Structure 1
């Protein structure tokens, strides 16, 4: 064995042995002679693992080489946007209103026993919400086709935005109920949902656009359904376009605003998730979005709102705007014709007969002749 090992060592160059192809049967007997069976098995396993790593790294490097060339320009655009965001200047009024409405990341002192920090912030905003939103609130209908829209009887206020921007949670925050279904999964709302508030206003929850956990065909039908609703509805008073305050206006938001601007639909932009961003960044985002909207769109309302459905910051201001669109008088419901009407007619006829009988009796009493008295009695009475 030792002689064979010496002969193989003298006859072979270690530099010629490949680094990654020891698995082949021709190379293994030489390794067994040089190192031994145990060490050759260890090398075999390690070489296999290293070979797989090299293969995966080569694939990823090739894909990166292709993708980096295409990603260079978007990366430059992102860097430019971040630089512009850092350099934006805001007015003192903006940050003062943000602080007054308890928006942005807040540092709250430890509350009393039985209350959380969130309860302390919410208790400040709850009394400012109009009492109108404590009235009866119910789910009316849902539509997945334009032919199944409900009749246009009450004024409507619609909420729309990208998937998972917080449309349903804002409806729940304004009404102080959990009737609108919420989820962390994008694309959870898949139909147009009508909610009736106090029988004088409809709150409409529209499906989100952009990214969603659904098939592309479904997403296309949702988008077409929302466009049909927004452009053809006559009782639609205002469309609240919700935008994430962490990211600002995206291309999908701009496309929607262009469609609504062409069809002359009044919109109001709301920056959501105001509790997740520092107050200075919120002020910068507010100024950037307002400048962009003023330059490009003509049917948007100002000033834009900043809202947090978690802390209720900015919710009273949104509620007061929504209250202005409600119907001033409740619609009168037609009274159903039933058997009670016949009974009422008979009762009215009986009352009329009674009324007519009373004056007749009085007339008879008045028309009575004077009583005749005998002459003897009359003498006595005179005495």
Structure 2
């Protein structure tokens, strides 16, 4: 029995990055031997075991063969005869197909270290094209390591293009897709993830609503970058630079989908794109079964982001409606995330990345004023039920008018 550290732990150590998760491969062992040493089996599909003390995962060396469609369409073979090189060749990228023993002696049959040095994301073998999830994984690694200068090898991008055209991507489950998408959006350069998916034709399959934004012009006065797709990438880039949470990044990706539906004869204007985009945002939300908080914020940002930009001009009554729509009294954090998404939208424009966004503090102030309206005096006046709600609304409107007048003075 020989035990090797494999995959990301080896890659990140060689890159000088912190090693968090460690995967281990066991060569020359049987299931019975693992059980006898106290390892605990995990699941029924893979020969994977938990270490009796550390709890880390140890997998028997295995080979795999394509047996059906999608991510799960494989049969696995694990036995003491499977070599380390045979186990490594089934992995996705050369930089993930290295192993080291307890003395840090490197086993690198597919030249992963060289590709690390050359900053190349390259597939290990033609079997790469058998797993559609790898399209998303490579795009995610591209987003993670773009800052270090990594790019996708042309031949790997070509395989990804073939996969995108094969119909295999449609076999991915919503859960597996969302896991990769959500992780990619939280990388340092999530816009690279979207760009790589577009470069290989996968964006058109997975998110045609986002792909449709590229080539759609916007008014140059507001959008010096003009192209709506490029604007979306820039907004996503800003969301990462400002360390926004997943909810905000997801909303940033989807906020302008309605512009993809604007008839060409109306370009570059996009009248009512906020309203027309809602059905598209809902469709993307449902396709990937995004978490409820991501779904809700994406719809609200899609519907109201132009309200955010025009906050200083809004009538007090419109401002109150906006606050009510977000339920700022019980869910203040959601409104704060809306403000963040609006600011990222404003900054995601060529040459305007450092612009100030006074609307943010103005909206925060309006929310604070509305929340500070006390209920108790109205209860003491005998208001209750629906009448109490209307009275509270009137008092909040009065407070917002005073706030607006003071801000305009």
Fold match (TM-score > 0.5) = no
Q: State the TM-score, normalized to the length of structure 2.
A: 0.24
**Rg larger for:** 1
Higher helix fraction (1 or 2): 2
Larger RCO, structures 1/2 (Cα 8 Å, 6+ apart): 1
Q: State the TM-score, normalized to the length of structure 1.
A: 0.25
